[in-house]
Structure 1
Amino acid sequence: MDDGRGLVLVVEDEPAIADVERRYLTQEGFGVHVERDGAGALDAVGRLRPVAVILDVGLPGPRELDGIGVCRTLRERGDWTPVLFVTARDDEVDRVVGLEIGADDYVTKPFSPRELVARVKAVLRRSEGRAGSLALAAGGVRLDPDSRRVHVDGVEVALTATEFNLLAELLRAGGRVVERAELMASVWGVADYGGSRTVDVHVAQLRTKLGGASPIETVRGVGYRVGT
Structure 2
Amino acid sequence: MLDGNRRFVAGEPRHPRQDADRRSELAHVQRPVAALFGCSDSRLAAEIIFDEGLGDLFVVRNAGQVISDSVVGSLEYAVAVLNVPLIVVLGHDECGAVRAAIDSTAVDAPALPPRIWRQVAPIVPAVRRVLHAHEGTTADTVDAEEVGREHLRDTVAELLHSSELITEAIAEGRLAIVGANYRLADGTAVPDVVVGDADRAN
The answer, yes or no, to whether TM exceeds 0.5 is no
User: Structure 2 length normalisation: TM-score?
Assistant: 0.36
User: Structure 1 length normalisation: TM-score?
Assistant: 0.33
Q: Of Structure 1 and Structure 2, which has the larger fraction of its residues in strand?
A: 1
Higher normalized contact order (CA 8 Å, seq sep 6+, divided by chain length):
2
